[in-house]
A and B are shown apart, each in its own frame.
Chain A
């Protein structure tokens, strides 16, 4: 049984994405300064890793799917959550307010995974903005270093393109 934050991409999604006119790729700021809560240092490290994973994932998808309408947003977004909603995912409605239509890949560290054991979890999603449906969601957990971050990105690419669980 997949966890709520894990969902395989359907063949229809992949087919649609190849020709979609707008696919935005974003990641998020680390909003809390270092030293003000446990795990702050690793959280800060994870911010750079999320950007790295995003870039590598995008490279892998571009190589194998050749989507035409991809735009990589290099400036991180603020990870707003919906007020009053007890989930730690950035709001998809906020993505819609900015980009209006098309699809968005976003990459973030879920708040509940602020690491206590040295690991960091990175969550990736594909959101369709027209109806705010999450079409694909997957995460990977690893000790934060560049090599493992690259492996995480590669696993996400394979998972996205094949629908396989990583």
Chain B
């Protein structure tokens, strides 16, 4: 091994030792639609496919330790138990074929246990759908009152419901009503959600 390689390897090792590593257990939900093997599920319907992403993920537990190659000490970090907010945001991705689809946002409904179905109070979009994160991409669009929107390509709309986000183990669903193709109504598309847990490793130099 040359001296240059030794120096480079030492630098890498030093960087790893000095880094801070966090192992998080995350609880969230995902649509219970389509094949389980799909990386992210989409509901296929004639001429269109849809998906949704509920914004209520929470970190269930967190461990923090120094470096990837120094295993100890590992410090459990208390998880914050914030009060749930007053608004529940759900991003809906709609991928139409052709140029003739519309969505009447006023007719979308959120079904939470033990309460009547909710319509969105405001929405943002249509904006670009993030195909890697599976939710609406970064946007600076203003919030709007629910209305009819036209779609000529894959878009994302972020819907706000005036209800506290439910815990991730509570079953809830969204009904995507109000879609039309060439003026013809599309049958309402139900999107139930199910809990999903995963772990992620975050590395901060």
Contacts and interface: CB of A to CB of B under 8 A. Distances in A.
Contact of A32 (B99, B129, B138, B153): B138
A31 B154 CA distance: 14
Given A78-B154, A80-B154, A31 B140 contact: no
Contacts, number: 36
B137 A94 contact: no
Contacts of B137: 31
Contacts of B128: 29, 31, 78, 80
Interface string A61-94: 0000000000000010110100100000000001
A97 B97 contact: yes
B98 A100 contact: yes
A33 B155 contact: no
Interface residues on B, range: 10 to 19
- B interface: dominant SS: loop
Contact of B140 (A29, A33, A75, A83): A33
A159 B154 CA distance: 32
A77 B129 CA distance: 12
B154 A75 contact: no
Interface residues on A, range: 10 to 19
- A interface: dominant SS: loop
Contact of A98 (B129, B131, B138, B153): B153
Interface string B126-156: 0011011000011010000000000011110
Nearest to B140: A33
Nearest to B127: A78
Contacts of A29: 128
B132 A83 contact: yes
B174 to A, nearest CB: 23
A97 B152 CA distance: 9
Contacts of B95: 97
A98 B132 contact: no
A83 B40 CA distance: 12
Given A31-B137, A78-B128, A80-B128, A98 B152 contact: yes
Nearest to B132: A83
15 contacts: A31-B137, A36-B138, A78-B128, A78-B129, A78-B153, A78-B154, A80-B128, A80-B131, A83-B132, A97-B95, A97-B97, A98-B97, A99-B99, A100-B97, A100-B98
Q: Which 6 pairs between the two chains have the least Cβ-Cβ distance?
A: A78-B128, A83-B131, A33-B140, A98-B153, A31-B128, A97-B97
Given A31-B137, A78-B128, A97-B95, 14 more contacts: A32-B138, A33-B138, A33-B140, A36-B138, A75-B152, A78-B129, A78-B153, A80-B128, A80-B131, A80-B154, A94-B154, A97-B97, A98-B99, A100-B97
